[in-house]
Structures are given as structure tokens and as C-alpha cells.
């Protein structure tokens, strides 16, 4: 390692520590309707691609659950919800959205809707920013079709208001475009929503920078002005494959989330994979290396993450130097596949605390040792807690659960007997610990100690 590279790695490590400390001071967490601390994790669900419509089944949603999903982000097509050129409100499209929300709900997955400009003929971003012909009102009217429809639907948690807003050829700086146009547009949309409904979260992104422009090799401009509205979640995207830039980018994102005085959700992440990676073990190891580095940083910040895309491989891009690439997590050449790219999915589907009655202080899954460490403060008044374990892929040899110093439970896949008690010095109610083999989830109905600091450890093997 040369001196320059070594310095970059040291700076990246230091910045990663700063990121964690900074976010810990803010301590902004996403809470559910019961006040549980939730870590949203899941997939972007597209309703169409360049070939045509995408359709999902209950099996697809169970597959999401078995990869640890508790959230989905559905990409809305503006052309099917508005009167922009080429667009028209489609009742059939609304019914399709209903079915996706319902499929998610039946499988314990919450929904966030994200508005894209797909389906609009020649959408003009500059006219939209300047509102030359009432474009913003037309855009808000499209959102109203969603807001009214899901007003009383508790499975819909919020709305990602503008997906990857563009600059293109506008003669204006990114800072001025953000402060003078994008932030006021967010305020305008949020204020319009408040007249229709209350209680959903408002997810807000930054400007998607022009090709060749970037900050620390990340193509999203910085938000330097507060949106100044309640229930705002800063929702950046990160697509980076160089470790030395991931820490600085996340540090920047943390500061932007703090500016909004709210939590952060990584709305999309994961550098695309070259098609050639599928046939190269060395490339797959390299891919896994920087993916693991990325998710470890995510988890150290306790932020939710949404992976692109839950789809097959029938559409490819050709913008990377290495040739055709894709974000699809399945290698099947169909709309929604089943053949996993395991060098991607095993990292996505890492164990984590999904919903905790109390507050999560920290959690980490160590890929080398296959150990999940969780530190938390319990509060059983907020209901049951749930952890995703992913035993089918991470613990085929069984797992041992240690709860504080007083309880040890094991799951032996050879016995197919759920959880067995190895140690219970505190005489705790072990029936409160329930293993769901189908969903690969552990539910804890009540904590053995309430209003107390508690540590959980999941480790491989049946340790009697």
C-alpha cells in the first residue's frame, strides 16, 4: 500500500468514527405507531421497466421477507397519475398499487411511495422548478390521487416526494437550485399534503447532479437549507464502489439529516453489478468486500436502507466502462426472478433488529464470525419486538441466542423444534420467545427485564 492510499484509508476510518458520533448525538430514530424503534429495510419495487409492466406474487413478497424486508418503496409513474403531456390518471394502475400495498401488508411489509416522472412525455425540469405553466400544481394533483386513496391506510408510512430531481442545462448553481427552488417546492408539496392528511412521513432527496459532477464521487448535491417542516426524513441515494469515499459521503449525509432535524433513510444504495461479475469469483469477492464495508457503516448509524432493485435481469444498462450492468438482485432474464445473485443477497439479508420495543443503542452483524450483537433499552409497554435472523442462509448449522446473562436459547435445524432452553437462571418466560421458520424471524412478546439495558447475541452453532 503506497503512502497516498494509506492516508486515504486512515482518513476514511477517522471519518467513519466521526459519522457515528455525530449521528449518535442527534439520536433521530424512526418509530412506528406503537413507539417501537424501527430499522426500515427492504427493496425498491418498480411497477414497470423498459420492457413493460412488472407483476408480483405472494411468493415474491415472502421471498422479500425471507431476505429481511419490512419495508418496500414503490416507484410511482407520474404519467399514470397526472395530466402532464402523455399522462392520464389510470384506474387500473391505482388498483395495481392497491394490490402491492396489500401484498406487503399481508407479509408484514410497510409501504413508501416514490414519485418518478416516468410516463410523461418530455418532462421539463426547469419549467417544473420555475412553475412556468402551473407544473407544480399539476404535480401536486398527481400526489393527491395517492394521498386521498391511502389516507386511512396504516400500511402506507409515507411519500418520497420527488425522485432524483435533475438540473440538466439550467444556468444556476446546485446550491441556488436547491435553496431557491427545490426546498420551497418541498415545502409547497408538504403544505398541500397537510390539507389532505396528517401523520405520514415526508421523504426528501437532493438534486441528482449532471454527468461528470459529483461530491466525493457521489452524484448528489448537498442540501444546505432546512426544509423546515415536521416529519421530514432525509432520503439520500448512494452508489459507490470505492471504500475511501463511502465514509465521507455518509458523514455529509448525516449533517444534512441533522439540518432537517429528523431521521435518515438510505432511499437507494448498491453500486450496479457488471454482467461479467456473475462468472468471476474474484470479482464477486471484490464486490462483496465493498458492499460489506458499506452496510457495516449503515448499521453503525442505525439507519434504514432500501436496495435497488427487487427484479430479474431482463433490462441492462451500458454506461459503465466494464460493459453491461444491472441493479437486479436476481440473474433470471425475466421481470421478477428467483435465482439470487448471492454475492449481493447474502449481504442484503444480514441479521438485524427490525422493530424493538424500546430503543436500539447499537447493532452489528459481523460477517466473518456470523455474530449479531444488539444493545438496547427495553420498554415492553410498546409491544412485541422482532429480529430478522436469516438462519436459512447465515446459520444452516443452527444458532444460539444469548439474552443478557440469564437466558440462552438454541435453534437446532436438525430437530425442527423451534427454540430450546439451555440456560434460564433468571426464570424468565421463555414462551415469550417465538421462532418463525417461514419468515426467518424471532419475535419477543415481552422483555424479561423492562426499562433496562439489555444485550442480545446471536451466534452460529448449537452451544449447549
d(CA 127, CA 176): 16
Q: Is the CATH number 3.20.20.140 carried by domain 3-349?
A: no
Instruction: Look at residue 426 in the predicted model and tell me its pLDDT.
Output: 86
Q: Alpha carbon 193 to chain centroid distance?
A: 23
pLDDT in the model for residue 3: 43
What is residue 13's predicted lDDT score, i.e. its pLDDT? 47
Write the pLDDT tens digit of every residue in 313-329.
999 999 899 999 999 99
Q: What pLDDT is recorded for position 402? A: 97
- Quick: pLDDT tens for 351-388: 999 999 999 999 999 999 999 999 999 999 999 999 99
Neighbours of 459 (CB within 10 A): 16
Mean of the per-residue pLDDT values of the chain? 93
Q: pLDDT tens string for the chain (464 positions)?
A: 444 334 434 444 444 444 444 344 335 799 999 999 999 999 999 999 999 999 999 999 999 999 999 999 999 999 999 999 999 999 999 999 999 999 999 999 999 999 999 999 999 999 999 999 999 999 999 999 999 999 999 999 999 999 999 999 999 999 999 999 999 999 999 999 999 999 999 999 999 999 999 999 999 999 999 999 999 999 999 999 999 999 999 999 999 999 999 999 999 999 999 999 999 999 999 999 999 999 999 999 999 999 999 999 999 999 899 999 999 999 999 999 999 999 999 999 999 999 999 999 999 999 999 999 999 999 999 999 999 999 999 999 999 999 999 999 999 999 988 999 999 998 899 999 999 999 999 999 999 999 999 999 999 999 88
For 251-305, how does the pLDDT look when each residue is reduced to its tens digit (9 = 90+)? 999 999 999 999 999 999 999 999 999 999 999 999 999 999 999 999 999 999 9
pTM of the model: 0.94
3-state secondary structure the chain: CCHHHHHHHHHHHHHHHHHHHHHHHHCCCEECCCCCEECCEEEEEECECCCCECCCCHHHHHHHHCCCCCEEEEEEEHHHCCCCCCCCCCHHHHHHHHHHHHHHHHCCCEEEEEEECCCCCCCCHHHHHHCCCCHHHHHHHHHHHHHHHCCCCCCEEEEECCCCCECCCCCCCHHHHHHHHHHHHHHHHHHHHHCCCCCCEEEECCCECCCCCCECCECECCCCCCCCCCCEEECCEECCCCHHHHHHHHHHHHHHHHHCCCCEEEEEECCCEEHHHHHCHHHHHHHHHHHHHHHHHHHHCCCEEEECCCCCCCCCEEEECCEEEECCCECCCCCCCCCECHHHHHHHCCCEEEEECEEEEEEEEECCCCEEEEEEEECHHHCCEEEECCHHHHCCCCEEEEECCCEEEEECCCCCCCCEEEEECCCCCHHHEEEECCCCEEEECCCCCCCCEEEEEEEECCCC
Query: Where do the structural domains in the chain lie, given as residue ranges?
Result: 3-349, 358-460
> Residue 14: its pLDDT value, please?
47
- pLDDT, residue 2, reads 43
Q: Rounded to whole angstroms, what are the CA distances from 148 to 137, 141, 152, 191?
A: 16, 11, 8, 15
Amino acid at each position: 500500500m503506497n503512502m497516498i492510499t494509506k492516508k486515504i484509508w486512515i482518513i476514511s476510518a477517522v471519518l467513519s468514527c466521526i459519522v457515528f458520533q455525530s449521528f449518535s448525538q442527534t439520536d433521530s430514530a424512526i418509530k412506528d405507531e406503537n413507539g417501537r424503534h424501527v430499522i426500515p429495510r427492504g427493496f425498491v419495487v418498480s411497477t414497470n421497466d423498459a420492457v413493460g409492466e412488472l407483476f408480483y406474487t405472494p411468493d415474491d413478497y415472502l421471498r422479500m421477507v425471507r431476505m429481511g424486508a419490512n419495508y418496500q418503496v414503490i416507484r410511482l409513474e407520474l404519467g399514470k397519475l397526472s395530466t402532464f403531456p402523455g399522462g392520464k390518471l389510470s384506474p387500473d394502475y391505482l388498483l395495481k398499487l392497491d394490490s402491492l400495498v396489500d401484498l406487503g401488508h399481508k407479509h408484514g411489509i410497510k409501504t413508501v411511495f416514490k414519485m418518478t416522472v416516468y410516463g410523461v412525455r418530455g418532462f421539463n425540469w426547469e419549467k417544473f422548478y420555475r412553475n412556468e405553466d402551473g407544473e407544480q400544481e399539476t404535480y401536486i394533483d398527481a400526489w393527491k390521487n395517492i394521498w386521498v386513496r391511502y389516507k386511512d391506510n396504516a400500511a402506507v408510512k409515507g411519500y418520497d416526494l420527488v425522485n432524483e430531481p435533475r438540473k440538466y442545462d439550467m444556468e444556476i448553481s446546485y446550491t441556488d437550485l436547491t435553496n431557491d427552488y427545490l426546498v420551497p417546492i418541498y415545502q409547497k408539496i408538504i403544505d398541500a399534503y397537510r390539507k389532505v392528511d396528517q401523520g405520514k412521513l415526508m421523504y426528501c432527496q437532493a438534486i441528482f447532479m449532471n454527468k461528470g459532477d459529483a461530491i466525493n464521487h457521489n452524484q448528489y448535491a448537498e442540501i444546505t437549507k432546512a426544509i423546515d417542516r415536521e416529519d421530514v426524513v432525509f432520503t439520500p441515494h448512494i452508489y459507490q464502489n470505492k471504500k475511501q469515499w463511502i465514509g465521507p459521503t455518509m458523514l455529509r449525509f448525516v449533517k444534512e439529516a441533522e439540518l432537517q432535524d429528523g431521521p435518515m433513510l438510505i432511499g437507494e444504495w448498491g453500486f450496479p453489478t457488471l454482467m461479467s461479475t456473475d462468472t468471476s469469483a474474484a470479482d464477486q469477492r471484490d464486490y462483496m468486500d465493498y458492499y460489506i464495508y458499506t452496510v457495516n457503516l449503515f448499521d453503525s448509524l442505525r439507519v434504514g436502507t432500501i436496495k435497488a432493485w427487487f427484479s430479474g435481469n431482463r433490462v441492462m444498462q451500458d454506461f459503465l466502462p466494464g460493459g453491461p450492468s444491472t441493479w437486479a438482485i436476481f440473474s433470471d432474464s425475466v421481470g421478477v426472478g428467483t435465482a439470487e445473485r448471492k454475492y449481493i443477497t447474502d449481504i442484503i439479508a444480514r441479521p438485524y433488529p427490525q422493530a424493538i420495543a424500546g430503543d436500539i443503542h447499537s447493532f452489528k452483524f459481523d460477517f466473518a464470525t456470523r455474530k449479531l450483537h444488539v444493545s438496547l433499552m427495553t420498554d415492553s409497554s410498546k409491544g412485541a419486538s422482532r429480529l430478522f435472523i436469516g438462519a436459512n442462509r447465515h446459520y444452516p448449522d443452527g444458532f444460539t441466542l444469548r439474552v443478557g446473562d440469564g437466558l440462552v436459547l438454541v435453534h437446532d435445524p436438525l430437530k425442527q423444534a423451534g427454540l430450546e432452553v439451555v440456560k434460564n437462571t433468571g426464570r424468565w418466560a421463555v414462551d415469550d420467545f417465538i421462532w418463525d421458520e417461514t419468515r426467518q424471524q424471532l419475535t419477543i412478546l415481552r422483555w424479561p427485564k423492562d426499562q433496562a439495558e439489555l444485550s442480545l447475541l446471536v451466534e452460529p452453532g448449537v452451544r449447549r
